[in-house]
Amino acid sequence: MGFFDRLSRLVRANANAALTRAEDPVKILDQSVADMQSDLVKLRQAVATAIASQKRIQNQAEQAEAQAATWYERAELALKKGEEDLAREALGRRKTCQDTATALSTQLQGQAGQVEQLKRSLVQLESKIAEAKTKKDMLKARAQAAQAQEQLQSAVGNLGANSAMAAFEQMEEKVQALEARSQAAAELAGADLESQFAALEGAPEVDAELEALRGKLTGAGPAAALPAGASGDSAVEPVTVEVQQPAVDAELEQLKRSIDKL
């Protein structure tokens, strides 16, 4: 393959690609309908010209037939007057007019066929143009919708790859992290507050129980009285039994340690 052939093919390919990218479906549809309208006008003009030509040929044929009839009448008149040569000349003219009328009649038939063909083509083109106009609006709407969808998809794709969008998403993650930390801190603060109140609410009960136990352990027990003697008048002092204090203190300290562990 020669260099110039390759260069020519490359130029044509690039030109076709550029032309394809430049084609706007909406504009092309409008232009196509406009071109069909222009063709319709030209076809109507052609039909009108063909009909006018048909009328002209028909008139010429009728005139030729009328002239042939006239020359025939003249030939009869000349023959009646004894002018045989003049009658012969008239009959020759009549023959020429008849030939002309016959040729024009043949041409008229062909012209009539052409006129009918043009009329059918005109009707078909008018029908196609009407159909094209109906489809044009629908196709334009579909083309515009497709272009809008393509632009939307492109915008969405650009948003995904855009640094601004990435920064926005990063800030959103930071806000969510801040909210999570704030919620966790609030929960921890609430738990600590609940534990403090629980300790306060439980302290009076422990203190009351501790005081009751201390009173039980340190308080004086009931006095043990000796039975009365025979002497009767002499009374014996009641003997008070005291609990050993060191043992109580040891038990109290042990109880305190067990309470502190709770």
| pLDDT over 60 at 151, yes or no | yes
- Percent of the chain's residues with pLDDT above 70: 65
Q: 234: which DSSP letter?
A: -
pLDDT of residue 228: 44
pLDDT, tens only, 162-199: 566 667 777 788 888 888 887 777 776 666 666 666 66
Number of helical H runs and strand E runs in the chain: 5, 0
Residue recorded with tokens 């042990």 = 254
| pLDDT over 50 at 231, yes or no | no
Is the pTM here over 0.85, yes or no?
Answer: no
Q: Which helix (H) or strand (E) holds 245?
A: helix 245-261
11-20, 82-91, 174-183: least confident range: 11-20
CA–CA gap between residue 256 and residue 248 (Å, rounded):
12
Q: How many residues does the chain have?
A: 262
pLDDT of residue 194: 64
Structure tokens at 35: 């071109």
36-40, 109-113, 150-154: least confident range: 150-154
CA–CA gap between residue 17 and residue 133 (Å, rounded):
28
pLDDT of residue 65: 93
| pLDDT over 80 at 7, yes or no | no
Mean pLDDT of 126-155: 80
Q: Which helix (H) or strand (E) holds 192?
A: helix 163-218
pLDDT of residue 98: 92
Assess contact for 23 and 137: CB atoms under 8 A.
Answer: no
DSSP 3-state percent helix, strand, coil across the chain (nearest 5): 85, 0, 15
| pLDDT over 70 at 260, yes or no | no
Calculate the average pLDDT of the chain.
75
pLDDT of residue 67: 93
- More confident: 217 or 24: 217
| pLDDT over 90 at 24, yes or no | no
Q: At what angle do helices 163-218 and 84-161 cross, to 10 degrees?
A: 30
Q: How confident is the model at residue 59 (pLDDT cuts 50, 70, 90)?
A: very high
Mean pLDDT of 133-161: 74
- Three-state DSSP at 114 gives helix
CB neighbour burial string for 188-227, b if at least 16 within 10 angstroms, e if fewer: eeeeeeeeeeeeeeeeeeeeeeeeeeeeeeeeeeeeeeee
| pLDDT over 50 at 254, yes or no | yes
pLDDT of residue 193: 61
Angle at 55 between CA 54 and CA 60, to 5 degrees: 100
